[in-house]
Structure 1
Amino acid sequence: MADESGAATGEAAVIADPQAEGHGHHGAQASTLKLAVGAIGIVFGDIGTSPLYAFRETFAGHHPLALDTRHILGVISLMFWSMMLVVTLKYVTIIMRADNKGEGGSLALLALINRNTTDRKRWASGIVLLGVFATALFYGDSMITPAVSVLSAVEGLAVYNPSFGPAVLPTAVMILVGLFAIQSGGTNRVAALFGPIMLLYFAVISTLGVLSIIKSPEVLFALNPYHAVAFFALDPLAAFLALGAVVLAVTGAEALYADMGHFGRNPIRVSWLFFVLPALMMNYMGQGALLMREGMVALESPFYNLAPQWFQLPLIGIATLAAIIASQAVISGAFSVTQQAIQLGFMPRLRIAHTSAATVGQIYIPLINWALMVMVILLVLSFRTSSNLTAAYGIAVTGAMFIDNVLLTVVLFRLWKWHWAGAVALLSVFYVVDGAYLAANLTKIPDGGWFPLLIGFIVFTLLTTWSRGRALMIERMRESAMPIPVFVASAANSAVRVPGTAVFMTSTPDGVPHALLHNLKHNKVLHERVILLTVKITDVPAVEDDNRCHLEDLGRGFFRMILKYGFMQEPDVPAALKRIHECGQSFRMMDTSFFLARQTLLPSARPGMAIWREKIFAWMLRNAESAMEFFRLPTNRVVELGSQVEI
């Protein structure tokens, strides 16, 4: 993971650079309350729409429970204490403290850990693979979340009027197609409505829950953990299998950590503890109270049956908007994770479009968008009901949560230096809880749980193949590279020097770039000023402009330059060059030529990867986005020279 990056492959990868400074994120002038409202609109969409299906699935899903008071109280108790242990304690209280210069998420945490475990490379490589697999599982989750959220919201039409049943699937598909179609235009205009809509949604579902609780106040006893324990004592197997549905109440917990860079730790904590958690629990208890009173009559959709008939249609509209917002958050998250994976060297370059001039994080990646849309539509048409989809939901989430425990273990012992007794006690709780949820979800593999695992393994194979292939290619190029001092001494006197500046992009700061050797061999000239430029992506989210450039004078008009960027930043080479005045005259783009090398892979007598992986890597290399666009180089000032590399 900690290898060099640059233009040899046109890619950027992590370079451990502890000296790099990060930008501050949220601005002290922004009030916590304002950010908390924004967080409600973006961060809590996934976990917020869980009441649409989570409680119903525990009693009507693939492992239905008896619809009696003991089971209802047991399920609600499990949901409440799961939220307290998994969301409140694990994510909100503990893991959110492990930020990487303000950024959260598996890849940000992985970069943080990687920077602090360089003395145990074999051990650290295993942690890297786990972090990459957690990222791969996220893509499976990002396909299922829009499908199950939108479909479960639209299914309210059949609850309101059974004759609307045939319209559910077409309506859900139309909404999803529209959602993915608007991504290219950006979500800035509608994003301002996300907070107020989600505030309305949480206010409505909590009010409906309270009205139901008033009619059956005995449901409040479910907050006592005794009922969760009694549930397992009463029927251990049924309780274990029920965990596969109960975990649906905490899906989206990782989003709190992943979106920390956008809103900050405190606003997310305030939103969760004082608004979202109470609203969710009031609704779940309201659904439980409804089932205690009406039994099977209300089980078709206890969420919608909480509302009186006259309010069900408006509730469908509000819930559908909330589901769209939850889906939007996951789609945006997929774009963000993809950008980080590209920067960290786990993906080839993809075309990234900025949809907002004011917000750096507002990006659009066409390939990811349309691939997600196709898979989401296929999921909806294949599974047909949200109940069937929930069988596929949960494995990716619980798998990622369990991997987060492993990463947290490293953080507690290696980064924070906790005393072993306290760390072991805390981690034991997390491992037992998340391990039980993961094991319960594994029972759903035949019913659809195979899907996110399949997607996860495919994405994991692609990510690791690209990372390994790049490392091999850079290693082979380094082996055949000529030492720079030898080249400068011989070429500076023998070659004809022409006016202007030549920038040779190179993936390694050691040795002469292949593009420079090919240019001299074929054109037999050197520019007056020759820059050997390497772009490095550091383990921190952002690098300040003052720390961007490292410059070394190699003599005779040759300079070695290293530009550093954070993994949340996009390299802009021309903009960086305009700020540099330490190597002679200032850079003028009209007098500057950029030379890139484009590699062609050849079979090797000592292959570093299996042949099938080499073929995958070669395909990914051929289809990577142009390095010229990735580094924002002026199109009329770029020269590409081919070279052949054996891996």
Structure 2
Amino acid sequence: MKLQTKASAVTTAGLLISLGIIYGDIGTSPLYVMKAIIGDAPISQALVYGGISCVFWTLTLQTTVKYVLLTLQADNNGEGGVFSLYTLIRRKAPWLIVPAMLGGAALLADGIITPPISVSSAIEGLRILYPDIPTVPIVLAILTALFLMQSFGTEIVGKAFGPIMLLWFVMLGSLGAVSVAHHPEILKALSPYYAYNLLAHYPRGFWLLGAVFLCTTGAEALYSDLGHCGRPNIRLSWLFVKTCLLLNYLGQGAWLMTKEGSLLQENPFYGIMPAWFVLPGIAIATVAAIIASQALISGSFTLISEAIRLNLWPRVRLVYPSNQKGQLYVPSINWLLWVGCVGVVLYFRESEHMEAAYGLAITMAMLSTTILMSYYLYTKCRSMTLVSLFLTIYISIEGAFLVANLSKFPHGGWVSLLIAGALLAIMYIWLNAFHIKRRLTEYVRLKDYLPALKELSADETIPKYATHLVFMTSASSTKEIESKVIYSIFQKRPKRTDIYWFVHVDISDEPYTTEYKVCKIAEGDVIRIDFTLGFRVEQRINLFFRKVVEELVANGEVDITSRYPSLNRQHLIGDFRFVVLEKFLSFENDLPFRERLIMEWYFNIKRYASSESKWFGLDSSSVKIEKVPLIILPAALPQLKRVPA
């Protein structure tokens, strides 16, 4: 059974939802881009026209061509994002997990930087009316309220996002158009000549690319949110969004030209507003900034859920506030992001200082997507010429942005790299620990133990452990089982039962697969169920297992009536008991330094992750947790010499 979620048609609702969910980050860029480009330099035609020209061509080449036209083609059953892109190619190029991890860590770091800079830029507009107002407490209060409401889900709030963002973009376009009407010459800035002139001849013009890049930071989120609205809705709505953004940038440029020769004293975004509209404009900007932050937070939740399925992140608790697609809440990530956002606000305090930390991490995410997308294009068209052209163009563009953004490193860029590096370290530890454990997990042939299992099941001298005993197994083959499971059944404490069930869960590259198959290894004694779940499906194994057993009973394939004579006469169902084996690092290990360090950190991090039983959604009242030592490389023992007593 597969759940189809791809949106394939353009609808009014789809277009409105696209505005509310997808364009929050890129849509609020006019709040700070032109202010960042001008900086402390005197306002001049070369700077203003060149900055707008760079913005226009960046939005065209980077956002429109790379993401809207090309990258949106790489959808995984309607889902997008760096991890979804990786799952499309990982069977042919597993080594590309490296750029995927780098991109994922960078996007999470962006989720910590974006909310503070967006909300701060909006709230600082109040200084036009109240010059001495303290903005930091207001920003912290808004961010705290935003993170507090995550546990309730965004279904209700999300319905209002579209109309509010429609109002926001109409405001951007209208204000920009009015300003352009007073200085129509600004339209000449769309010529690539002015971009070239700025980068080649203006003093330190190349380094302004770090500020220009801020106009396209939401492009990666645009691809990540593909599953919410579908490709046709995103492409059509982008035409409207890009038009409104360009009109506003042009309008800010027209206003700046009226200040030519002077230093910038106020944010040009608010400068193009009539005095009577400043307060309503700030209110709309603040709500838009909150929506932009919400989009990044929700995207971070989705990113983590995908990373868990790919064994790149600890199995933390996932909460689904409603049955609506996309309604996901990850408490640990929510409060991790909140702590990060509060730290960013308290450290930088002003949005202009936050601009130094913004952009560096997301550039790395875009470079990662370029590498993954290049291989995806190669698998589809097999044209090295096309792939080489794509790779050359976008490595050059994004490489230039990366170099320009590196100039921000000593001024705050190190913050985003530090955050991304810490997140990347967790992914590296978790993935390598997974491979170390899998490499050294011992499997045995289940066939060799079937006679012993049948004999144990019939041995009435041993107290019955349960009517039905269920083990979770990682063995991908139905012919094998972990040796630790056999040890648990026969030696840990002999576990006599009527039917032994082995349950295996496999995560597919498709997002919403829900399939299973049943293998009767020994009729009436040993049954195995293999679930194949999409990487976005919550693993409610307790409920899934119960549903499968009900279908087997309905089809007459299995009898789950209790085999105790007194209970059997009453036709009562036998009890089910799950056994979950949790590993701990044994002291009897002699690991190489690197692997010992990885495993020690793995088990330290694992303390804060969900237990195996909670992760698989098992009923705690019917679960037995058994601790088993993980002996990866036995320590060499000294030769013992017996001496006379």
Scaled by the length of structure 2, what TM-score is found? 0.90
Is residue 113 of structure 2 the alignment partner of residue 137 of structure 1?
no
Is residue 130 of structure 2 the alignment partner of residue 161 of structure 1?
yes
Is residue 558 of structure 2 the alignment partner of residue 584 of structure 1?
yes
One-letter amino acid of the structure 1 residue matched with residue 537 of structure 2: Q
The corresponding residue for 1:9 is: none
2:78 to 95, 102, 106: 102
Task: Pick closer, same or farther for the CA change 1:590–1:192 going to 2, 3 Å.
Answer: farther
After TM superposition, list the pairs within 5 Å mapping 1:587-598 onto structure 2.
591-598=575-582
Q: Distance in 1 between matches of 2:420 and 2:518?
A: 39
Q: Which moved more, 1:438-447 or 1:222-231?
A: 222-231
Task: Pick closer, same or farther for the CA change 1:550–1:556 going to 2, 3 Å.
Answer: closer
The corresponding residue for 2:638 is: none
**What SS does structure 2 have at the residue aligned with 1:466?**
helix
Deviation at 1:423, TM superposition (A): 2.5
Q: Distance in 2 between matches of 1:31 and 1:79?
A: 28
The corresponding residue for 1:542 is: 512
**What SS does structure 1 have at the residue aligned with 2:313?**
coil
Q: Distance in 1 between matches of 2:41 and 2:367?
A: 26
The corresponding residue for 1:521 is: 491
Q: Are the aligned partners of 2:560 and 2:574 in contact in 1 as well (CA < 8 Å)?
A: no
**What SS does structure 1 have at the residue aligned with 2:132?**
helix
1:40 to 19, 30, 33: 19
One-letter amino acid of the structure 1 residue matched with residue 126 of structure 2: L
The corresponding residue for 1:195 is: 162
Q: Are the aligned partners of 1:474 and 1:508 in contact in 2 as well (CA < 8 Å)?
A: no
Q: Are the aligned partners of 1:504 and 1:513 in contact in 2 as well (CA < 8 Å)?
A: no
Deviation at 1:252, TM superposition (A): 0.6
Is residue 301 of structure 2 the alignment partner of residue 307 of structure 1?
no
Q: Are the aligned partners of 1:590 and 1:637 in contact in 2 as well (CA < 8 Å)?
A: no
One-letter amino acid of the structure 1 residue matched with residue 494 of structure 2: K
CA deviation map 1:544-588 (0-9, x unaligned):
4xx333534245611232111000111122332213445513699
Q: Are the aligned partners of 1:598 and 1:643 in contact in 2 as well (CA < 8 Å)?
A: yes
The corresponding residue for 1:568 is: 536
1:334 to 280, 283, 300: 300
Report the count of equivalent residues.
606
1:50 to 7, 23, 29: 29
Q: Distance in 1 between matches of 2:67 and 2:432?
A: 32
Q: Which moved more, 1:434-443 or 1:630-639?
A: 630-639
Deviation at 1:508, TM superposition (A): 2.1
Q: Distance in 1 between matches of 2:7 and 2:205?
A: 46
Q: Distance in 1 between matches of 2:495 and 2:31?
A: 69
The corresponding residue for 1:412 is: 377
Task: Pick closer, same or farther for the CA change 1:494–1:377 going to 2, 3 Å.
Answer: closer
One-letter amino acid of the structure 2 residue matched with residue 179 of structure 1: L
Q: Are the aligned partners of 2:18 and 2:237 in contact in 1 as well (CA < 8 Å)?
A: yes
Deviation at 1:376, TM superposition (A): 0.4
After TM superposition, list the pairs within 5 Å mapping 1:375-386 onto structure 2.
375-386=340-351
Deviation at 1:517, TM superposition (A): 2.4
Q: Are the aligned partners of 1:291 and 1:299 in contact in 2 as well (CA < 8 Å)?
A: no
Deviation at 1:515, TM superposition (A): 4.1
**What SS does structure 1 have at the residue aligned with 2:205?**
helix
Q: Distance in 1 between matches of 2:11 and 2:560?
A: 44
2:393 to 422, 429, 447: 429
**What SS does structure 2 have at the residue aligned with 1:161?**
coil
Q: Are the aligned partners of 2:7 and 2:229 in contact in 1 as well (CA < 8 Å)?
A: no
Is residue 34 of structure 2 the alignment partner of residue 23 of structure 1?
no
Task: Pick closer, same or farther for the CA change 1:590–1:354 going to 2, 3 Å.
Answer: farther
Q: Distance in 2 between matches of 1:442 and 1:91?
A: 24
2:286 to 296, 304, 320: 320
Q: Are the aligned partners of 1:552 and 1:560 in contact in 2 as well (CA < 8 Å)?
A: yes
2:314 to 348, 352, 355: 348
Deviation at 1:513, TM superposition (A): 5.4
Q: Are the aligned partners of 2:10 and 2:232 in contact in 1 as well (CA < 8 Å)?
A: no
Deviation at 1:522, TM superposition (A): 4.1
One-letter amino acid of the structure 2 residue matched with residue 475 of structure 1: R
The corresponding residue for 1:10 is: none
Deviation at 1:220, TM superposition (A): 0.4
The corresponding residue for 1:258 is: 224
Q: Distance in 1 between matches of 2:621 and 2:268?
A: 62
1:204 to 152, 171, 190: 171
CA deviation map 1:500-527 (0-9, x unaligned):
2111011223324524522432442321
One-letter amino acid of the structure 2 residue matched with residue 447 of structure 1: H
Q: Which moved more, 1:255-264 or 1:580-589?
A: 580-589
Is residue 246 of structure 2 the alignment partner of residue 281 of structure 1?
yes
Q: Distance in 1 between matches of 2:269 and 2:346?
A: 23
Q: Are the aligned partners of 2:357 and 2:414 in contact in 1 as well (CA < 8 Å)?
A: yes
Deviation at 1:494, TM superposition (A): 4.4
CA deviation map 1:250-300 (0-9, x unaligned):
011011110001111110111111x11000000000000000012447642
Task: Pick closer, same or farther for the CA change 1:271–1:550 going to 2, 3 Å.
Answer: farther
Larger Rg: 2
**What SS does structure 1 have at the residue aligned with 2:416?**
helix
The corresponding residue for 1:558 is: 526
One-letter amino acid of the structure 2 residue matched with residue 557 of structure 1: D
Q: Distance in 1 between matches of 2:317 and 2:403?
A: 39
CA deviation map 1:352-388 (0-9, x unaligned):
11111x3132111111111111110111011010000
Deviation at 1:330, TM superposition (A): 0.6
After TM superposition, list the pairs within 5 Å mapping 1:107-186 onto structure 2.
107-117=83-93, 124-125=94-95, 127-164=96-133, 167-186=134-153
1:484 to 442, 446, 455: 446
One-letter amino acid of the structure 2 residue matched with residue 579 of structure 1: V
Q: Distance in 1 between matches of 2:7 and 2:65?
A: 26
After TM superposition, list the pairs within 5 Å mapping 1:354-373 onto structure 2.
354-356=320-322, 358-373=323-338
Q: Are the aligned partners of 2:7 and 2:230 in contact in 1 as well (CA < 8 Å)?
A: no
CA deviation map 1:564-619 (0-9, x unaligned):
10001111223322134455136998621111001111242244844332221011
Q: Are the aligned partners of 2:79 and 2:511 in contact in 1 as well (CA < 8 Å)?
A: yes
**What SS does structure 2 have at the residue aligned with 1:416?**
helix
One-letter amino acid of the structure 2 residue matched with residue 326 of structure 1: A
The corresponding residue for 1:269 is: 235
One-letter amino acid of the structure 2 residue matched with residue 386 of structure 1: S
What residue ranges of structure 2 are gaps of 5+ in the alignment?
562-571, 633-645
Task: Pick closer, same or farther for the CA change 1:426–1:360 going to 2, 3 Å.
Answer: closer
Task: Pick closer, same or farther for the CA change 1:427–1:65 going to 2, 3 Å.
Answer: farther
**What SS does structure 1 have at the residue aligned with 2:326?**
coil
Q: Distance in 2 between matches of 1:522 and 1:382?
A: 54
Q: Which has the higher contact order (CA 8 A, sep 6+)?
A: 1
One-letter amino acid of the structure 2 residue matched with residue 385 of structure 1: E
Q: Distance in 2 between matches of 1:298 and 1:307?
A: 16
**What SS does structure 1 have at the residue aligned with 2:497?**
strand
2:207 to 211, 226, 241: 241
The corresponding residue for 2:415 is: 451
Q: Are the aligned partners of 2:360 and 2:417 in contact in 1 as well (CA < 8 Å)?
A: yes
Q: Distance in 1 between matches of 2:488 and 2:210?
A: 60
Q: Are the aligned partners of 1:442 and 1:449 in contact in 2 as well (CA < 8 Å)?
A: yes
What residue ranges of structure 1 are gaps of 5+ in the alignment?
1-20, 118-123
Task: Pick closer, same or farther for the CA change 1:628–1:203 going to 2, 3 Å.
Answer: same
**What SS does structure 2 have at the residue aligned with 1:353?**
coil
The corresponding residue for 2:585 is: 601
The corresponding residue for 2:404 is: 440
One-letter amino acid of the structure 2 residue matched with residue 110 of structure 1: Y
Task: Pick closer, same or farther for the CA change 1:389–1:590 going to 2, 3 Å.
Answer: farther
Q: Which moved more, 1:209-218 or 1:632-641?
A: 632-641
**What SS does structure 2 have at the residue aligned with 1:624?**
coil
The corresponding residue for 1:626 is: 611
Q: Distance in 1 between matches of 2:445 and 2:113?
A: 52
Instruction: Give the superposed CA RMSD.
Output: 2.0
